[in-house]
Structure 1
Amino acid sequence: MQQKLSEADLIINPDGSIYHLNIKPEDLAQTIITVGDPDRISEVSKHFDRIELKKGKREFITHTGYIGQKRITCISTGIGTDNIDIVFNELDALVNIDFNTRLVKSQLTSLDIIRIGTSGAIQPDIPMGTILASSFGLGLDALMQYYIHELSGDEHSILDSFRSDFSHIKGITPYLTAADPTLLNTVGKDMEQGITVTAPGFYAPQGRQVRARNAVPNLINLLNRFKYQNHRITNLEMETAGIYAMAKVLGHKALSVNAILASRVNFQFSSEPGKVVDKAIKMVLEKLV
């Protein structure tokens, strides 16, 4: 017999909304766009024909609306895979747990989740302004040490090769998950593609040095030299691997679309970041509808 989820494991607010996201099951569309920056929500929803819902709590802002007949929810996650853990568990709960009985539903729903985020390229042939779809997410953070995460297909081979090449770096337990193939071949079609590394921070974990000394001073060079067959690491950011892994664990489909704002090997940053992000938003929305 299925056991009810406790009030401590699944926290539901008095108004019937999920704890952090502050939205109810009926507020959520089947197609979801995630962005890191709460201010980017309006940059997505301004393209909606109509908006039916605006809610927010902390860094989690949600707009649900329509483009034509297509219902879309756009939600901000904040920065990092710790927030992805919150967002993806709560998105899943909204569609796959009955809030009245606190039981998992007999028929599960699979969501389509597309991240639109910013990133820095680590290959010299990927210029700023590129819109890149992540074929794989390679996580250097600790999130998936807390979940049972099974590998399949090329994930085994690529991860084994990466572990071998980076075995001299202590304290890293990498994980790897592929993008959903359907979303990669539709929304990600005609985009640059490559392995995206997800770091647990913005500065030293991404090879930046300001004042504090880096334990891995040549991180960017190590990453951009990695290759396995026709796969290479193309860019760095802070959410993709967690999104891919949590989507797979929970049975959802995910794709990360990256607006390349920096060239880490050429030490450049875009002078018009807003235009690059808007380009990525328009590309995704056009392909979704």
Structure 2
Amino acid sequence: MVNIRDLDPSASPLDYYGFELRRLREDAKLKQGQLGEIIYCTGSLIGQIETARKVPTRDFSERLDAALGADGHFSRLVGLVLRSQLPTWFQAYAEMEVRATHISSFQPQLVYGLLQTQEYARAVLQAGWGEKLDDAVAARMERQRILQREGPPLVWVILDEAVLYRPFGSRGIMREQLQRLLDFRHRREVGIQVLPFSAGQHPATVGAFNVLRFEGDPDVVYAESYGSAHVTANPETAGDCAHRYDHLQAAALSVEDSAALIARVREERYGNHAGPDEHAVA
């Protein structure tokens, strides 16, 4: 029997989710094990989520809605829950990312989070010694839902060429990640350019940054440092970053030439013929 503890539904999105799950389950006169049988999970898992000891997934939430006739209640809640699992210093940015109409990103180390495959994201987060790895991966995948909604933001990403060569996870994971980048060629709202090694010096040697634009609000610049982030709407800073981004775009390969380079690296470095080391990690 799972221990039940009283939850304060106002304490966090996860506590509210657990409170609502227990309330609607009891309204339906179902025990935890009975509900688990209906949605193909254990009663223990139901109990862990009801007591905020386990983070629900989107699939779990959709099955809950169907089983309890909740009209999408848990599917809507789970987005808040997953975003609440992001690092505290990142949550404000994640909220702004949802509202942005345009996102411009320069990434010298990693593929931008919105474009990562699940396994690449797992390897990146694992390399960073992230806690609660499964929850962190789920939260990162949840961010990508903004690209699936009606009226997604326009996203432009410039990747340093080094990103293509820096392995996270196995060769197969990298091959899948580079293919994911190539698949975005078919999305008109996503553009990907590669800044080649041959570009030499460039105006963004300080590191990665994003510029977010909104409908009716000032532009925002986001940049990370160790264990924290810097977010500013200062017009001078935003203007300077936009100017630097223009120079990066001019120095980067075209979208078509970038895709050709990504495809070549995918084949030559991560193709099945590339060698025996299938499980190399960064």
- More relative contact order, 1 or 2 (CA 8 Å, 6+ apart): 1
Scaled by the length of structure 2, the TM-score of the pair is 0.27
| More strand, by proportion | 1
| More helix, by proportion | 2
Highest CA radius of gyration, 1 or 2?
Answer: 2
